[in-house]
């Protein structure tokens, strides 16, 4: 019975020693998290720069993204567009667009319009000469209300039908970010 | 290999007069049983280096006459006993009482970990013997257990297979391997038991919580894997199994070697390797489903009758690829995956295991010691240490590309002691205590918010069991157990989630730190669990027996059920735990009818399990994030009723043909919401016909049919979601169950003796003979791809 005692004493020492670690764990802020998608549209003929912005600071948390559009677009206008993706839970904010650019072959932005009152064409290319979509041209036609959905797809199949033209139907891959911006063309 | 330990010696009493004249001493004695001091009749005694013999009479008495002064050594033998030698110094007439180690439990063999054999007759148990285990050498625990009626599996692909007993799985099942309760993060559906089944010689499935010795929380049941039992003799033996499979284009290799000595020392080492590439369905490759598994174990110890010990170490390393197409982004991808008949990514066959994948290391170190006390029973003391490291790799970008998304390190120390009062076999008692300390460390370097937090956990348990043989026909078993569970976690919650769950009001006092977007909280919970079991078996005659049992068991919620919060990347869903969850309370009654004759064996089982606070994970809706919408799965509690029937029937048709049937039906009902429970196994019917020719190399041919019906009882958790890319609303059908399927398998084996000590068994089988396309309800990847197509297996086993 002596051995039981010894073992019990030993066990309680182990338990006490192990449970005395009172250090707080290290906080994890998601690194690849995209909190913010910003689309900046500069009219080619001059005029107001329009900014479309979606922020979701709690990432995968329950809060819905906050979406803002700085103003109305003009009909029959060509805009130079630049899309940026950021992680604003980091301080300073992490610019994920850089990573997307570096791994351009594995990423592509898609721009889809609900009511076909506008269209986009890509202005940049990856190593293979396929579009990435960070830079693009947006052309509006007639006036009306419109919804632009910006999707960033990771590992798209850029050889899929119409994918390089900006149609995500055959792109497969995984969605890294997806935001819809309602706006008005006047 | 197995033979009786003790030789039977004919009871011939020879007394001869000594030549020496001063040799007048008489040596008398009595031989009794070590346990209950009853006299041992017919034991033979021989004085070494002489021709003097004696045999005990009906009172266990013996006598040697005309012995000389000095030292004599007497060898004592008795059937079913270990031969014992004693040395006596004779100066005068002497009387000595000698105990012999005579015990029914150890009649045939000496059991290495005899404290863990599942002996109670009053519970629903099924055994899987080593022949079946060898056939499944290249497979998983979950695969082999499907040979038991009422046991199915919940899968993530074909390499992650978790056993389901009567509809219950994960934390509701205890897996005991070599006397150690496996602690390997069993909470998740994609966390399969990390066990090399080749280490087991016998697997016992206990349905329900009636084996309180192992724990009070096994609402589903207990799976006990026991190592081989060694015979006390000087011997070296081993075996090697080599298996090859066409599906996955890989194989498995298992080798073991054992050395035993007459004195009880033993030493054994085992190793198993498995390597497979991408598996395939009848029509396409399942890209990234390869497997690389390594296992090693080492065991040594001393096994004597009165005392013994074992030192044991085992290690398992699993690298498992997860179907590439099952990794999806958001709901758009899920919808297109479900609507597509084939997986969205199909590549050429490869042995590469890329992300998404899991890597798991599991170490078990164990020491145990036992001692038998005369007239009392047996004491067992055991300490075990387990370390479970789990890495889940996801498809990631940039600098994090090769970083694990989940990196958990679970360390468990357990100490337990039991005492088995077994001197009176009609009335045995067993008592035990157990203490467990567990630490979980979630590595923050993953850069992904922890799904399971850091925690310390302490469990303490105490139990008492009694087994009473009332008469030749009736045995009664009762048990009582108390467990205390304490969990102290440190967990980060997104502030938004903390509020959305309403925790700010209920658990505001738990907050210990403010980290901008997150709270650090320190939940400390303790649970008191009382479990009881009672069983009775009544043997009408040598053919018919019936047993009834009742079990009350409690299970405290696990870390996953309490604390999960966030996007589970590998499952592409947001999983939310609930700090409010209370322990599950299960009341289970069951009954079995057994019939056994020369030609038939029938076992018909029925059970009803009423579980209060049954915790389950179910989709509840969607949440919009910047990545798009994700389904939200919440842990919820309800009151559940499970019931079912399991039938096992074996019928000898002739000397060569045996027919067998295993059928099971399980129903699960959510009594609170009046709907079906999720993930209840579909009705299953397995029939087989086996031909065996004992005269010609024991040739066997077996044709098996496996029919799984569509599960019609499932909850409707479908929801609609807006797909911005297509600008449409789509129904996400995550509830519908796959249709019926029927598979045919064929298996054949034969044994060839190469030499006296070496024999070779060759077996060949074809699984899914007709190359049938099917999907199984309990495979989490059923949304994305079909199950396995035809698989040719060839296996070679050499015993030496």
Spatial distance between the Cα atoms of B386 and B225, rounded to a whole number of angstroms: 17
Smallest Cβ distance to B500: which of A4, A30, A62?
Answer: A62
Q: Which helix or strand (DSSP H or E) is residue B390 part of?
A: strand B377-393
Pair A143, A185: CB distance under 8 Å: yes
Spatial distance between the Cα atoms of B559 and B570, rounded to a whole number of angstroms: 18
Chain B CA closest to residue A87: B626
**Are A177 and B626 inside 8 Å of each other by CB?**
yes
State the pLDDT at residue B17.
36
Pair B22, B69: CB distance under 8 Å: yes
Angle at CA of residue B293, ends B291 and B298, nearest 5°:
170
Chain B CA closest to residue A113: B725
Q: How many CB atoms lie within 10 A of CB B279?
A: 27
**Are A59 and B625 inside 8 Å of each other by CB?**
yes
Task: Name the maximum alpha-carbon separation found in chain A.
Answer: 93
Q: Closest Cα partner for B581 from B563, B608, B603?
A: B563
State the pLDDT at residue B38.
75
Contacts of A8 in chain B (CB under 8 A): 415
CATH of domain B25-102: 2.60.40.10
Q: Closest Cα partner for B24 from B56, B75, B67, B81?
A: B67
Contacts of A178 in chain B (CB under 8 A): 330, 332, 626-628, 724-725
3-state secondary structure (DSSP) of residue B271: strand
Q: How many CB atoms lie within 10 A of CB B89?
A: 9
**Are A65 and B328 inside 8 Å of each other by CB?**
no
Question: Which positions 44-103 of A are in contact with B (Cβ < 8 Å)?
Answer: 54, 56-65, 89, 99, 102-103
Chain A CA closest to residue B325: A173
Q: Which of A9, A18, A25 to mutate to test the interface with B (most CBs of B within 10 A)?
A: A25
Smallest Cβ distance to A154: which of B344, B397, B624?
Answer: B397
A154 touches chain B (CB under 8 A): yes
**CA terminus-to-terminus distance, chain A:** 91
* Residue labelled with tokens 């041919």: B701
Contacts of A174 in chain B (CB under 8 A): 327-329, 333, 395
Closest approach of chain B CAs to the CA of A13, in angstroms? 11
What is the model's pTM?
Answer: 0.84
User: In residues, how long is chain B?
Assistant: 800
Pair A12, A4: CB distance under 8 Å: no
Q: Which helix or strand (DSSP H or E) is residue B467 part of?
A: strand B454-469
Q: Which of A6, A178, A181, A182 to mutate to test the interface with B (most CBs of B within 10 A)?
A: A178
Q: Long-range contacts made by residues A1-9, C-beta under 8 angstroms, separation at least 24?
A: A3/B369, A3/B381, A4/B381, A4/B417, A7/B381, A7/B383, A7/B415, A7/B417, A8/B415
Chain A CA closest to residue B624: A64
A29 touches chain B (CB under 8 A): yes
Q: Closest Cα partner for B79 from B59, B62, B104, B98?
A: B104
* DSSP conformation letters of B732-773: E--SPPPPPEEEEEEEEEEEEE-SSS-EEEEEEEEESTT---
**Are B512 and A24 inside 8 Å of each other by CB?**
yes
Q: Which helix or strand (DSSP H or E) is residue B493 part of?
A: strand B474-494
Closest approach of chain A CAs to the CA of B424, in angstroms? 22
Smallest Cβ distance to A3: which of B381, B497, B515?
Answer: B381
* ipTM surpassing 0.90: no
Q: Closest Cα partner for B145 from B207, B218, B191?
A: B207
Task: Tell me the count of A-B CB pairs closer than 8 A.
Answer: 162
A50 or B61, which is more confident? A50
* Residue labelled with tokens 């007239």: B375
Under CATH, what is the fold of the domain B226-317+353-371+378-395+402-799?
Answer: Maltoporin; Chain A (2.40.170)
**Are A154 and B395 inside 8 Å of each other by CB?**
yes
Pair B721, B747: CB distance under 8 Å: no
- Helix-strand-coil percent breakdown of chain B, rounded to 5? 10, 55, 35
**Are A25 and B520 inside 8 Å of each other by CB?**
yes
Q: How many CB atoms lie within 10 A of CB B424?
A: 13
Closest approach of chain A CAs to the CA of B337, in angstroms? 10
Spatial distance between the Cα atoms of B414 and B386, rounded to a whole number of angstroms: 9
* DSSP conformation letters of B610-659: EEEEEEEEEEEEEEEETTEEEEEEEEEEEEEEEEEEEEEEEEE-SSSEEE
pLDDT beneath 50, residues of chain B: 1-21, 103-119
Side by side, the strands of the sheet bearing B94-100 are B61-67, B25-33, B94-100
3-state secondary structure (DSSP) of residue B318: strand
Closest approach of chain B CAs to the CA of A104, in angstroms? 11
**Are A3 and B369 inside 8 Å of each other by CB?**
yes
Contacts of A146 in chain B (CB under 8 A): none
Contacts of B369 in chain A (CB under 8 A): 3
Spatial distance between the Cα atoms of B275 and B294, rounded to a whole number of angstroms: 9
**Are A175 and B333 inside 8 Å of each other by CB?**
yes
pLDDT at residue A15 tops 80: no
CA distances (Å), origin A65, targets A38, A84, B518: 12, 16, 17
Spatial distance between the Cα atoms of B249 and B447, rounded to a whole number of angstroms: 36
Contacts of A110 in chain B (CB under 8 A): 725
Is residue A30 left, alpha or beta, with left meaning phi > 0 and alpha meaning psi from -120 to 50? beta
Rg, Å, chain A Cα set: 24
Q: Closest Cα partner for B256 from B230, B282, B224?
A: B230
**Are B449 and A28 inside 8 Å of each other by CB?**
yes
Q: Which of B451, B627, B726, B728 to mutate to test the interface with A (most CBs of A within 10 A)?
A: B627
**Are B518 and A56 inside 8 Å of each other by CB?**
no
* Residue labelled with tokens 């065996």: B692
Enumerate the domain spans of chain B. 25-102, 226-317+353-371+378-395+402-799
**Are B624 and A8 inside 8 Å of each other by CB?**
no
**Are A3 and B395 inside 8 Å of each other by CB?**
no
Smallest Cβ distance to B381: which of A7, A60, A147?
Answer: A7
CATH pick for A29-185 out of 2.50.20, 1.20.1740, 2.60.40, 2.40.30? 2.60.40
State the pLDDT at residue B362.
97
Contacts of A7 in chain B (CB under 8 A): 381, 383, 415, 417
**Contacts of residue B209, Cβ cutoff 8 Å, sequence gap at least 6:** B216, B217, B218, B219, B221, B531, B533, B551, B552, B553, B586, B588
A116 touches chain B (CB under 8 A): no
Closest approach of chain B CAs to the CA of A46, in angstroms? 30
**Are B500 and A61 inside 8 Å of each other by CB?**
yes
* DSSP conformation letters of A106-120: GEEEEEEESS-SEEE
Closest approach of chain A CAs to the CA of B381, in angstroms? 8
Smallest Cβ distance to B724: which of A99, A149, A155?
Answer: A149
**Are A11 and B398 inside 8 Å of each other by CB?**
no
Closest approach of chain A CAs to the CA of B396, in angstroms? 8
Smallest Cβ distance to A175: which of B332, B344, B456?
Answer: B332
Q: How many CB atoms lie within 10 A of CB B506?
A: 11
**Are B495 and A58 inside 8 Å of each other by CB?**
yes
Dump strand ranges (E) for B116-226.
124-128, 151-156, 160-165, 168-169, 173-177, 180-181, 202-207, 221-226
**Are A30 and B400 inside 8 Å of each other by CB?**
no
Contacts of B500 in chain A (CB under 8 A): 61-63
pLDDT at residue A118 tops 80: yes
Q: Which two tokens stand for residue B153?
A: 């599996």
State the pLDDT at residue B701.
96
Pair B143, B193: CB distance under 8 Å: no
């Amino acid at each position: 019975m002596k051995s039981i005692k010894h073992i019990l004493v030993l066990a309680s020492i182990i338990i006490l020693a192990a449970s005395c670690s009172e250090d707080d764990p290290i906080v994890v802020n998601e690194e690849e998290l995209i909190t913010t998608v910003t689309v900046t549209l500069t009219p080619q003929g001059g005029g107001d720069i329009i900014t479309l912005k979606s922020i979701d600071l709690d990432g995968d948390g329950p809060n819905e993204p906050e979406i803002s559009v700085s103003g109305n677009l003009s009909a029959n206008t060509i805009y130079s567009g630049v899309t940026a993706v950021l992680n604003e839970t980091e301080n300073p904010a992490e610019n994920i667009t850089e990573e997307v650019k570096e791994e351009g072959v594995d990423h592509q932005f898609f721009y889809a319009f609900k009511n076909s009152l506008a269209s986009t064409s890509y202005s940049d290319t990856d190593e293979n000469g396929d579009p990435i979509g960070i830079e693009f041209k947006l052309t509006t036609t007639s006036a009306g209300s419109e919804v632009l959905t910006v999707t960033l797809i990771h590992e798209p199949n850029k050889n899929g039908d119409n994918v390089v033209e900006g149609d995500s139907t055959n792109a497969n891959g995984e969605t890294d970010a997806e935001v819809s911006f309602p706006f008005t063309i006047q | 290999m197995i033979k009786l330990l003790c030789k039977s010696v004919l009871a011939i009493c020879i007394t001869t007069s000594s030549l020496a004249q001063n040799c007048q001493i008489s040596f008398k004695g009595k031989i009794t049983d070590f346990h209950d001091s009853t006299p041992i009749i017919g034991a033979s005694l021989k004085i070494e280096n002489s021709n003097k013999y004696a045999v005990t009479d009906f009172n266990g008495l013996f006598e040697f006459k005309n012995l000389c002064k000095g030292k004599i050594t007497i060898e004592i033998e008795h059937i079913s006993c270990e031969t014992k030698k004693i040395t006596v110094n004779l100066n005068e007439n002497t009387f000595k009482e000698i105990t012999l180690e005579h015990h029914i439990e150890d009649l045939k063999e000496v059991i290495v970990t005899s404290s863990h054999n599942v002996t109670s007759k009053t519970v629903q148990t099924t055994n899987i013997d080593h022949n079946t285990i060898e056939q499944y050498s290249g497979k998983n625990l979950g695969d082999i257990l499907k040979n038991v009626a009422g046991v199915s599996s919940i899968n993530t692909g074909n390499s992650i297979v978790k056993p389901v007993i009567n509809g219950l799985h994960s934390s509701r099942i205890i897996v005991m391997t070599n006397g150690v309760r496996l602690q390997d993060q069993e909470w998740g559906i994609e966390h399969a038991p990390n066990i090399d089944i080749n280490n087991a010689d016998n697997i016992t499935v206990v349905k329900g919580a009636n084996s309180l010795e192992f724990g009070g929380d096994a609402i589903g049941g207990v799976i006990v894997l026991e190592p081989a039992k060694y015979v006390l003799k000087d011997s070296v033996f081993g075996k090697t199994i080599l298996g090859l499979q066409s599906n996955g284009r890989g194989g498995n290799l298992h080798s073991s070697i054992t050395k035993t000595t007459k004195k009880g020392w033993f030493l054994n080492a085992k190793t198993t390797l498995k390597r497979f590439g991408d598996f395939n369905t009848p029509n396409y490759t399942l890209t990234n489903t390869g497997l690389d598994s390594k296992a090693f174990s080492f065991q040594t110890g001393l096994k004597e009758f009165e005392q013994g010990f074992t030192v044991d170490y085992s290690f398992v390393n699993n690298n498992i690829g997860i179907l590439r197409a099952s990794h999806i982004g958001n709901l758009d991808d899920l919808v297109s995956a479900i609507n597509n008949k084939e997986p969205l990514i199909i590549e050429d066959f490869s042995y590469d295991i890329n992300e998404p994948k899991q890597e798991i290391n599991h170490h078990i170190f164990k020491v145990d010691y036992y001692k038998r006390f005369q007239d009392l029973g047996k004491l067992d003391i055991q300490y075990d240490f387990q370390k479970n490291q789990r890495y889940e790799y996801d498809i990631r970008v940039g600098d994090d590309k090769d970083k694990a998304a989940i990196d958990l390190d679970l360390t468990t120390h357990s100490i337990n002691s039991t005492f088995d009062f077994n001197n009176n076999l009609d009335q045995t008692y067993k008592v035990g205590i157990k203490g467990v300390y567990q630490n979980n460390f979630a590595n923050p370097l993953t850069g992904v918010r922890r799904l399971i937090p850091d925690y310390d956990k302490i469990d303490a348990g105490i139990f008492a069991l009694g087994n009473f043989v009332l008469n030749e026909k009736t045995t009664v078993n009762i048990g009582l157990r108390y467990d205390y569970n304490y969990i102290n976690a440190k967990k980060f919650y997104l502030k938004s989630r903390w509020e959305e769950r309403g925790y700010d009001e209920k658990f505001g006092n738990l907050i210990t730190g403010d980290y901008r977007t997150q709270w650090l909280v320190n939940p400390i919970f303790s649970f008191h669990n009382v479990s009881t079991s009672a069983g009775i078996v009544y043997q009408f005659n040598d053919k018919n027996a019936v047993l009834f049992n009742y079990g009350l068991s409690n299970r405290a919620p696990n870390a996953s059920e309490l604390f999960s919060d966030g996007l589970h990347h590998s499952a592409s869903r947001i999983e939310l735990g609930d700090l409010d969850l209370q322990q599950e309370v299960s009341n289970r009654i069951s009954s079995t009818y057994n019939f056994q004759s020369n030609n038939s064996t029938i076992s018909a089982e029925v059970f009803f399990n009423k579980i209060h606070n049954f915790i389950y994970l179910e989709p509840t809706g969607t949440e919009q994030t910047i990545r798009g919408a994700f389904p939200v799965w919440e842990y919820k509690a309800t009151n559940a009723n499970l019931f079912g029937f399991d039938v096992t029937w074996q019928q000898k048709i002739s000397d060569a043909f045996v027919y067998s049937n295993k059928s099971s039906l399980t129903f699960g009902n959510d009594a609170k919401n009046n709907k079906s429970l999720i993930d209840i196994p579909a009705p299953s019917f397995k029939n087989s016909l086996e031909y065996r020719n004992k005269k010609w190399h024991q040739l066997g041919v077996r044709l098996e049919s496996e029919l799984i019906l569509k599960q019609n009882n499932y909850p409707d958790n479908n929801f609609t979601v807006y797909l911005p890319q297509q600008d449409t609303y789509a129904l996400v059908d995550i509830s519908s169950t796959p249709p019926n399927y029927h598979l045919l398998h064929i298996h054949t084996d034969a044994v060839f003796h190469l030499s006296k000590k070496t024999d070779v068994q060759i077996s060949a089988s074809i699984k899914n003979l007709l190359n049938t396309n099917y999907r199984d309800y309990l495979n989490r990847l059923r949304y994305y791809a079909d199950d396995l197509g035809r698989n040719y297996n060839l296996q070679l086993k050499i015993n030496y």
